[in-house]
Copies of this chain bind each other. A is one copy, B any other.
């Protein structure tokens, strides 16, 4: 059997073709307010499938975006934005400054990273404001009689529209870095075994790791405040009431979480949180002929991808990779530009038709594609949730993680050879892949079911936990603990006083005797 592995750089993505069972009896109207970038992919897949089943699906997108656009099974409503495609591209290209190998001081690195985040944030805020403060658009949407809103609440534009129009919300998301999703769903997430974003920890932490994780957890409310500061202001202006994003999100009917116990670690979930990870594992597109012959080489092949966010790499980094690829017998297929091109090339290969070791790549979740096709990975995460995802996969023994800034031809070659020669990587990913694919119901099917459920029943109030009516003192029963402590203390004090009194009286009596 030939060896194959995937070199994943950053996040990839994938469209899900129309598939599944016939449409149900209930047909309704769904409003979709998507998020751009890789977040678009999952929401688009669900919107497409809902439309294919006969629902009227309306997707609201800006006139200029990274990748959002029309689809076969939904209608689009566009709104103007005060920026052009060139500006969006320039913001995306700022990734290159962050992964530069050239000697950067720590201050420079932080400055670059911060500048990039600021640019993206500004783009997001401008986009949201262009939608929300477009009065004619909002009143047009209000008149359509939608049954529900489908959105990715990491950018809570759709959640605000839903609140304004009094519609129930279906969230489809990968997660919100400050755990606002988990908190808004009222879900417990003990820092003792639920690793936080950006820590790269697993669910088994040392004391030091647990301390850091707890500190991050303690700082989360602050992080959420900072992240959603501007949106809290937008919410106030848009809704005309004193309501923050956290409160708006806590009204969500269903949370479709793009997570999987195989990729993540087992953690508590609320009944309205539904894991739908691996939503595009079953994607099958026909493979172009030139690739079909290419993938059947003697030594197998390596798929090299930069994901959806990074359109090019600094020249020094590129040469590191090219030099390493020259020195291995496996064929390497990669691309720097046009994310969708290679998706369509590789997705054509069904599990059965593919030669041993061949693989589909690119996914909204680095590693999911490798998991899907049981192929070990060398992962070079860049930003966002990628480092965490990579660490999680590495902790399961299915691949190796390299740092994009410090990677050299030697370290890359070493990693490639390790993963190719050590059969344990292949064995581990095969085991994980078997578990990942053993499901009672297809994740896309499940997402459709819950979306329709919310539309049919005008929400899912029976799944809303009573935790939302509690403040944190009540939640942790601090008032009860205070009462119980007081009772115990009073009891102890009274007992001691009584005993003292008794002893004194006894002493007096003895004296009198």
Binding site for B on A (CB under 8 A): 187-188, 190-193, 202-204, 207, 210-211, 214-215, 261-262, 265-272, 275, 432, 434-435, 438, 440-441, 445-446, 449-450, 453, 456-457, 462-467, 469-470, 474-477, 479-481, 483-484
Contact = CB atoms under 8 A, between A and B. Distances in A.
A292 to B, nearest CB: 29
A216 to B, nearest CB: 12
B271 A266 contact: yes
Contacts of A483: 211
A89 to B, nearest CB: 41
Contacts of A270: 266-269
Contacts of A190: 188, 467, 475-477
A438 B464 contact: no
A67 to B, nearest CB: 30
A23 B262 CA distance: 26
A349 B483 CA distance: 54
10 contacts: A190-B475, A191-B477, A193-B465, A204-B466, A261-B462, A266-B464, A267-B271, A269-B269, A440-B445, A440-B450
A268 B268 contact: yes
A470 B194 CA distance: 12
A438 B467 CA distance: 24
A267 B269 CA distance: 9
A469 B204 contact: yes
Given A188-B268, A193-B475, A203-B466, 6 more contacts: A192-B467, A211-B480, A261-B462, A266-B464, A435-B462, A438-B457
Contact of A477 (B204, B210, B266, B435): B210
B265 A192 contact: no
A280 to B, nearest CB: 19
Given A266-B463, A463-B266, A456 B438 contact: yes
B191 A188 contact: no
Given A261-B463, A438-B457, A480-B214, A192 B268 contact: no
Contacts of A262: 462
A211 B466 contact: no
B271 A192 contact: no
A265 B193 contact: no
A9 to B, nearest CB: 27
A207 B480 CA distance: 8
Contacts of A266: 270-272, 462-466
B435 A440 contact: no
A267 B271 CA distance: 7
A452 B127 CA distance: 48
Nearest to A191: B477
Nearest to A263: B462
A211 B474 CA distance: 10
A264 to B, nearest CB: 9
A272 B470 CA distance: 27
7 smallest CB-CB distances across A and B, nearest first, come from A203-B466, A440-B449, A266-B465, A268-B268, A188-B188, A193-B466, A214-B480
A193 B207 CA distance: 30
B261 A477 contact: no
